[in-house]
Structure 1
Amino acid sequence: MTHQEIAHHRLVSQKLEKTSKISPQEIVHHMGAIQAQDYAMAKWAIGSRCDATEKEIEEAIDSGKIIRTHILRPTWHFVSAQDIYWILDVSGPQVKRIILADTKKHGYDEKEFGKINSAIEKILTGNNHLTRDEIIQELNLKKISGEYHLSPVLIMMYAELEGLVCNGIMRGKQMTYSLLEEKVPKPTAKLTKEEGLVKLAKRYFESHGPATVSDFSWWSGFSPTICKTVIHSIVTELNSVEIDNQTYWFRTDLSLENSFRKSVHFLPAFDEMLISYKNREASILLEHQSKAFTSNGIFKPVILENGKVIGTWKRTVKKDHTKIATQFFNETENHKKAILFKRIKDFENYLETKIVIE
């Protein structure tokens, strides 16, 4: 299997080869989790995989069918309502340990966070959706350990990881928080840590494969040792191929026939097609990687042709239209650009507004 073939099979696994007729929440459920710190672009990560409009995706998020919260590495992710609790149970404890390692020396331990979370629960009870600033103002926290101020970001992240809060209804362009249990009822049964890790691994390789242990470790936030053990326990439930002394795992029903289709995708910043793998050479040449993402983890929107990144793009929203500017890595002939730009029609349908290409 070549890098080109890996890129193609990932398009299929990630439901990018052809637009799916399933709902936005079903796309998120299939993917396990979709990185979502850039809210506007993250919505397009869902929209590029189904035929839903931006408004329909926003409705799914506001209604609680899709949850936006800190999870996994951690960063913002979209997670489906049916998956939120078990994924939190799996990944929450390890991320909380990272937070506590920094805050304990300043007096903020589990007990202190517990007091803060109790106060947040009282503030938000009754479907009271508030912004982070409004919550922090209501908390009226005092300094602990001299001049140390606990970051509002860490306060809300810890509350998210505890399964207390998640995104509330958007207030214009401002995000609010709500109580998770008021959006999604808590299930009566819980998975063990081992069961949760197995489920997470299967979901990742079924939706992102072919991928390696290192890729899964990067995406999930768990150590390579833990990931190897988990994969060893499900080898009979996955297929694999060896390429350059690396094992790539994928779902058993993924066809490896070379029935490649020509395709063009205008993908959002931080899209799973790039960010969910530690090694990204299958989709973008090493010489072009610095043009698509920075060393400190900022990813740009990219243009894919047949699974390979050939350039970047950006949008500028105007009153009655949206402008699209492109930058190709190599010289691209005008007639070829016209063919590529036909695929921007999907983005136009998604936004329900006119697209103007600069």
Structure 2
Amino acid sequence: MRSLSADEVRWLRVRAQGLAGSAGETGSTGSAGSAARTVPDAVRTAAAVQAQAAGPARLQIWSRSRGLRAADVDAAVAEAAVVRTWLMRGTIHLVAVDDLRAFLAVLGPVNLRADRRRREQLGLTEALCARAMDALAEILAGGRALTRAEIVAELAGHDVVIDLKSQQPPHLLAFAANSGLICRGPDGARDEPTYVLLDGWLGSATAAPPDRESGLTRLAARYFAAYGPATVTDFAAWSGLSGADSNAAVDLVRDSLAEVAYDGRRLLMPHGIEPAPPQCPHRLLARFDPYLLGHRSRELILDPAFAKRVNAGGGMIAQTMLDAGRVVGTWKAGRLEPFQDLPAAGAEAWQAELAAAAAF
């Protein structure tokens, strides 16, 4: 078994994530090393991207693509080439349409079980949720895309009364999404989310949900292509699956994976990928970037002394500066905030990244 250094593990992960070159100029699809030139390809490079908010999701795609602009991301969303719904760890992700059914077949039931107690605490009983599912199918029929407030107002006319200002609406919408009924639709003014019927939104891409084994296979294959070298424990942390389910998924794809050693642990990655010297190491990453969320620990890429600068609490992940796979600072609105003084040689590269982000 080949042993890897920390630098080699970091670089392999950077390359797998499509972060191997300057944003908008070069990139990687995780295998061939070519730049992602479409929004779905950029999304697949990370398996899926976090999409609680539209702005960070656009920038996550910028970091992994070549020649795209923010409007291209919005167009891909509006055309359902990529779709937003609740997936990994019960959070909203943007995923390529051809991966959606497989991911949802595995993660939907997991998320429904994980959120059951909170639904009960909020008064979202099984009977109320069942009525809401029937009502949503009528309310959103005919290709309608409604905001959360509009949905709550119309649900009341179907004997489903919930409080718009409470946590009931998001948990009810998540229930419907994880049940495969709805997903996020096109954004309204100021990026306000709308919701649509999943089958109607996918149109010609609609297909019967795959069996669970096929879903586990697709999920694990996408993960290790995007985040390897990684452990089964890393896969479980990223996906939200149990240890048993994670092991079962990895067993399904194990023949396609190679084992490597790092720091006394066995890591898995696709066969045929060799470490290579880092190139274009200066990168800017969006909030909630998948590079920081794909493994159980960030210590390999982020000095614990600066961890609070990146994640101050509440699940918020700051926009970060990446240098050869290490997080070396944060940034805001065209301003760099490095943890320590930057070498003069890197100043030009960082400014180029800021300019590219602004152009996007």
Asked if TM exceeds 0.5, the reply is yes
Q: Which of these residues, 113, 119, 141, is aligned with residue 125 of structure 1?
A: 141
Structure 2's unaligned 5+ residue stretches are 27-34
User: TM-score when scaled to structure 2?
Assistant: 0.87
**Kept in 1: contact 2:103–2:215 (CA 8 A):** yes
Asked if 1:285 corresponds to 2:340, the answer is: no
- Alignment identity in percent? 26
Q: Distance in 1 between matches of 2:186 and 2:280?
A: 39
1:87-108 Cα distance to aligned partner (Å, 9 max, x none): 1111001111122223346663
Are residues 217 and 345 of structure 1, via their aligned partners in 2, closer, same or farther at CA, if it must alter by over 3 Å? same
Letter in 2 for 1:122: E
Q: Distance in 1 between matches of 2:167 and 2:303?
A: 41
Please state how far the C-alpha of 1:245 moved relative to its aligned partner: 2.4
**Kept in 2: contact 1:4–1:282 (CA 8 A):** no
Q: Distance in 1 between matches of 2:44 and 2:355?
A: 26
User: TM-score when scaled to structure 1?
Assistant: 0.88
**Kept in 1: contact 2:329–2:337 (CA 8 A):** yes
Q: Which moved more, 1:339-348 or 1:195-204?
A: 339-348
**Kept in 2: contact 1:303–1:312 (CA 8 A):** yes
Please state how far the C-alpha of 1:23 moved relative to its aligned partner: 0.5
Runs of 4+ in 1 over 3 A off after TM superposition: 104-111, 141-144, 185-190, 333-336
**Kept in 1: contact 2:128–2:160 (CA 8 A):** no
Partner of 1:37: 52
Please state how far the C-alpha of 1:124 moved relative to its aligned partner: 1.2
Asked if 1:5 corresponds to 2:5, the answer is: no
Letter in 1 for 2:19: L
Please state how far the C-alpha of 1:289 moved relative to its aligned partner: 1.5
Q: Secondary structure at the match of 1:83?
A: helix
Q: Distance in 2 between matches of 1:106 and 1:12?
A: 43
1:144-164 Cα distance to aligned partner (Å, 9 max, x none): 9xxxx7711111111111121
Partner of 1:255: 274
- 1:1-358 alignment to 2 at 5 Å? 1-18=4-21, 19=26, 20-51=35-66, 52-104=68-120, 108-140=124-156, 151-173=168-190, 174-185=192-203, 187-256=206-275, 258-315=276-333, 324-334=334-344, 336-350=346-360
Please state how far the C-alpha of 1:333 moved relative to its aligned partner: 4.5
**Kept in 1: contact 2:103–2:218 (CA 8 A):** no
Q: Distance in 1 between matches of 2:325 and 2:263?
A: 20
Partner of 1:321: none
1:117-155 Cα distance to aligned partner (Å, 9 max, x none): 1111211111211110110011115669xxxx7711111
Q: Secondary structure at the match of 1:103?
A: helix
1:319-347 Cα distance to aligned partner (Å, 9 max, x none): xxxxx122110122555323321222321
Q: Distance in 2 between matches of 1:70 and 1:295?
A: 21
Q: Distance in 1 between matches of 2:88 and 2:59?
A: 21
**Kept in 2: contact 1:13–1:254 (CA 8 A):** no
Are residues 339 and 191 of structure 1, via their aligned partners in 2, closer, same or farther at CA, if it must alter by over 3 Å? closer
Are residues 150 and 288 of structure 1, via their aligned partners in 2, closer, same or farther at CA, if it must alter by over 3 Å? closer
Q: Which moved more, 1:341-350 or 1:170-179?
A: 341-350
**Kept in 2: contact 1:72–1:92 (CA 8 A):** no
Are residues 5 and 127 of structure 1, via their aligned partners in 2, closer, same or farther at CA, if it must alter by over 3 Å? same
Letter in 1 for 2:7: Q
Q: Distance in 2 between matches of 1:328 and 1:168?
A: 37
1:170-211 Cα distance to aligned partner (Å, 9 max, x none): 212111111111121464444322221122111100111111
Letter in 2 for 1:66: V
Q: Which moved more, 1:304-313 or 1:228-237?
A: 228-237
Are residues 233 and 169 of structure 1, via their aligned partners in 2, closer, same or farther at CA, if it must alter by over 3 Å? closer
Q: Secondary structure at the match of 1:348?
A: helix
Please state how far the C-alpha of 1:232 moved relative to its aligned partner: 3.1
Structure 1's unaligned 5+ residue stretches are 316-323, 351-358
Q: Which moved more, 1:333-342 or 1:27-36?
A: 333-342
